[in-house]
Structure 1
Amino acid sequence: MKSAQAQPFGHQWRSSKSFVIVTVTLALFAETFLYGFLVPILPHMLEVRLGIDPSETQSYITTLLTIHGFLSIISAPIIGHFADKTPHRKIPLMMGLGACLVGTMLVALTPNLFMLFLGRYLQAIGGSATWVVGYAMLLDCTDTKNMGKNIGLSMTFIAAGVISGPAVSGVLLGLVGYRATWSVPMIILALDMLARLLMIDSRELPSKDPNETPSNKTTESNETTALFQNENENEASKQLADTEPSTPTASSPLAFYRIMLTDARILVALLDTIMFSSITAGFNNTLPLHLRDVFGWGSMETSLMFFCFQAPSLIFSTLNGMMRDRCGVRYPAAIGWALLAPLLWLLGVPGDKRFPWAGSDVGGKNIFIGTMIALGTVSMFLRGGGSFQFSTVVKNMQAQNSQVFGPYGGNSRVFAIIEMCFSAGMMVGPMFTGPMTENAGYYCMTSTLAILCLVLSGLTLKYFEDTQPKKKSSSLV
């Protein structure tokens, strides 16, 4: 009776894996929605509300998007380190939401450039906390054999946020005006806050056995791990040999990152993440002005182009994740990068004077729209591929030794690294695409990205795993 009274109200459904997954996916949806929401209306904010000269608009957009990525790189490892050390991960999750809420209000009501940049700073830090802690909790709720399906499901909501953000802001700005447009993200943040307050992290629940202590749990976990290792000694001996020397100090920050960043599979996975993020951020940075200059399109048409790019992931991400559970990510990702190269080249053709058959008044618009849809379809096989590869490797390490990354595991730090790489892409993408588009043209920019995709296709084919290593379910932690 005493133990039952200690349980919080509704603890069964509030702490269930299903509700945690729903809360995390809603948080990720809100974060991506907010990031994409700003993109189509940034020219309006800078030129109409703040009076910036149109010739300087591209530079300010590049700076805003670059700073967002830079701050995420700085904050992610700090958030990941403390999230893995604390038994209450909901605290950094709520702090991140608070920063995001304040930052969004500053951006929406900004009277000057200083407040606009400050709001983006807070949004970047809050978004970083959401990605790092949220994805770590999602990984905790997922076993290896269902990881692709659950990550694919989260990718569906992420794609929904990426699609609906710019689509909603671009359409509403023309229909109801600037201030009313910002009511939508405020409603989404309110729902996000409610879900995060209701959610109970499994670490927060009191033990059902009053005699059970953390040390008892650790001892039991170690005994179970030892039994599993004995049963699979021949199969796992090689992996244990690789991880055993680092085990005593693996929970320290430097040792953890040393283990991660000396594995070729992880390094290529992170490179995949950086490249995909760079391409996406490059689109956010250059598409609005490029489409305005070449086709005379406004915020609504730009929003529709983002929709064409993201819609296939919204429809097929879960199926793609299930495919990864069966055959891994190596061949789909390698083929995806190879196919992305000619499509990126073709994206730069419409409106370029060297290709009169693709002019803005001939067939350029149809070519551009068709290429964006094809890019979105191929990108479906790349989205989250690096995260999937990284997570699989780390899951297998923890299966061999549950204490290798400390008593609370290393999932938060894993996604801190992923967030750092994704944010690096968000920073590098605008820094590369903005100046290159201005100085060399949009065609040269997309052609350069195409060449890099071919290189990455070869690296992915060489270093990614063909299929997931087959482990018994009892080995999961």
Structure 2
Amino acid sequence: MDAGNFCTKPIGYRWRSSTPFIVSCIAIALFTETFLYGFIVPILPEILLERNHVGPSDLQRVTYQILTLYGAVSMASSLFIGELADRAGSRQTPLILSLITALVGTLALAVSTNLWGVFIGRIIQGIGGTAAWIVGFATLRDSIEGSNMGKASGFIQGFVSVGALSGPAFGGLLLELTGYWFTWGIALLLLIIDIVMRVLMIEQRSFKTDCCGSQVGGQGETNEYSSLISDTSTRSYDSLKDDDPEPKHEITALSFYRIIFSQTRVVTALLCSTTYAIILASFGTTVPTHVKFSFGWGSLATGLLFIGLQGPAIVVSPLCGWLRDKVGTKIPATAGFLSLAPLMWLLGAADQPQFFWGRDEGSAKAVYIAAAIGIGIATNLLSSIGTFELTAVVDALESQQPGIFGPNGGYSRIYSLSGLSFSVGLLVGPLLSGALAESIGYYHMNTILASICVSMGITAFTFLGGKASLEIYGPGREEE
């Protein structure tokens, strides 16, 4: 009799370890992190002016510093978090710790009555949020086959978009209708729900070894849970040749990054992710000011415009994820950047009098809105490109040399690289777009961004991998 039969499985073992529940846990957690990122924006004046006694003349400067701090913390901590997460014995503990950290940071922001407390709270919140993203996607990869990564990430991206849209709206509405502490109570409740879900979740990869130490669902053995396990050793790539089937010793951290960055696909994917973030960040920096002075739009109209920019992701993002699963990243990324180019140009040209539509205010507004909605659709082709491509590269390397990146496969480290590249774009985007808009004008700024999109489309087509392009070459084959 199998020794595993003497082991008692936890209550709710089946549903707690099911792929839908795990994906739901990750989706809700990342929704919460995105929700909290924007939730604070309408509450900041209350925090700074009323509770922390910041002068009105300093409000804009301090607000910018606090909002920028989140991205800076993410950049500074992501690689360190990825390294630690890949060396942890399980994903669950880092997942729970990340949410507890975010909870502590959020609570510090809420109760602070000194400005230094606000900054410390935002730093802690940034570390927790960054860890949640990195470990969340690594857990997702442990729970599903690589061929379904696009659909799963697209589904999650839809939740993230809902969080991005609803965070500022709910923050402002709750503050006005219910008061300061009830508003923060809702945010803290969301984090507590996340923590409870993480405690309930059982990692699928832990089923490979049962509680008595014997293999569950191992070679030649199947059970009712075998179909839930994503066993990387069963992945096959026709274009890969397993020259040495013996597992390799785990390489050093320096060798890991040397191997990863030797792949042109990786560098291209990270560059795509950074450019995508630059484009997204440019909207928040330049659009509100432009539409105010060009069209006379106030905060309500501007908010509705941003729904046009972000809202399509709720529906389109899962479809784009399915497309990436079918054809790889090359075609979606190329199409995304090349379709963005004319739309970005049109966004800048909407009110230009040298074009016939720009001579009539109604036509100019219609063109601007149409371009914004088009951008909101096209950008979904670019979301998760870095995550998806880096996953494919590590999958292929692990299939070629099993265990080369350690027992956790190096996924937290590559997702930290993807997050870092995106954070760089979020930091560079406002600086670049703001400087260009001020020096050469909004139209010419958008023309330059459109040109960058064309260049990136060509680069993506040249270097990114398609569905059948899984060959790993160069130092990735070297013995470490």
Pairwise TM-score range, normalised by the shorter structure: 0.7 to 0.9
Contact 1:97 1:126 in 2 (8 A): yes
Pick one of 87, 90, 115 that aligns with 1:88.
90
Q: What runs of 5+ residues in structure 2 fail to find an aligned partner?
A: 220-230, 472-480
**1:3 touches 1:209 (CA, 8 Å); kept in 2?**
no
Q: 1:27 to 1:468 in 2, by over 3 A?
A: farther
Query: In structure 2, what is the equivalent of residue 371 of structure 1?
Result: 371
The answer as to 2:342 corresponding to 1:338 is no
The alignment's C-alpha RMSD in Å is 3.7
Contact 1:69 1:425 in 2 (8 A): no
Name 2:260's counterpart in structure 1.
Answer: 260
Tell me by how many angstroms 1:441 deviates.
4.1
- Unpaired runs of at least 5, structure 1: 218-223, 472-477
Q: More deviation in 342-351 or 156-165?
A: 342-351
Q: Which of 224, 236, 247 matches 2:240?
A: 236
Match of 1:459 in 2: 459
Structure 1 pair 173–11 and aligned structure 2 pair: CA distance change class (3 A): same
* Residue in structure 2 matched with residue 400 of structure 1 by the alignment: 400
Per-residue CA distance 1:204-252 (angstroms, 9 max, x = gap): 56943735289x99xxxxxx999999xx8x8533xx56xx79x856532
Identity %: 36
2: distance between equivalents of 1:162 and 1:55?
Answer: 27
Distance in 2, Cα, partners of 1:389 & 1:209: 35
- Equivalent residues of 1:66, 1:428 under 8 A apart: no
Structure 2 match to 1:78? 80
1:27 counterpart = 2:25: no
Distance 1:138 1:228 in 2: 17
Contact 1:325 1:468 in 2 (8 A): no
Q: Report the TM-score when normalising by structure 2.
A: 0.82
Separation in 2, partners of 1:349, 1:179? 45
- How many residues were matched structurally? 456
TM-aligned CA distance change 1:444 to 1:470, over 3 Å: closer
SS in 2 for 1:117: helix
**1:361-397 per-position Cα deviation (integer Å, ceiling 9, x unaligned):** 6554433332221110111111112221221122122
Pair 124,209 (structure 1): closer, same or farther in 2 beyond 3 Å? closer
CA–CA distance in structure 1, aligned partners of residues 369 and 87 of structure 2:
48
Label 1:37 to 1:305 Cα distance change in 2 as closer, same or farther (>3 A).
Answer: farther
Partner of 1:311: 311
1:261 partner amino acid: F
**One-letter amino acid of the structure 1 residue matched with residue 10 of structure 2:** P
Q: Relative contact order (alpha carbons < 8 A, sep ≥ 6): 1 or 2 greater?
A: 1
Q: Deviations over 1:107-165 (max 9, x none)?
A: 34554543332222112111110111000010111212222212221122122222222
- On the 8 A contact 2:149/2:325 being kept in 1, the answer is yes
For residues 422-460 of structure 1, give each alpha carbon's deviation from its aligned partner in whole angstroms, at most 9, with x where no partner exists. 122222223323444455544443333222111111100
Q: What letter is aligned with 2:256? A: F
Relative to 1, partners in 2 of residues 1:177 and 1:255: Cα closer, same or farther, differing over 3 Å? same
Q: Secondary structure at the match of 2:240?
A: helix
CA shift in 2, pair 1:298/1:45, >3 Å: farther
Distance 1:459 1:470, change over 3 A: closer
Q: Distance in 2 between matches of 1:141 and 1:390?
A: 17
Partner letter of residue 170 of structure 2? V
Deviation string 1:11-67 (CA, Å, 9 cap, x unpaired) is 33222222211111111111111123334555676678755556972x545433432
Comparing 278-287 with 151-160, greater Cα deviation is found at: 278-287
Q: Report if aligned partners of 1:225, 1:400 keep a CA contact under 8 Å in 2.
A: no
Which residue matches 2:274? 274
TM-score by length of 1: 0.83
User: Residue type matched to 1:90 in 2?
Assistant: Q
Query: CA separation of 1:226/1:395 partners in 2, compared to 1, >3 Å: closer, same or farther?
Result: closer
CA-CA distance at 1:280 after TM superposition: 2.0
Q: 1:107 to 1:307 in 2, by over 3 A?
A: farther
- Stretch moving more, 132-141 or 184-193: 184-193
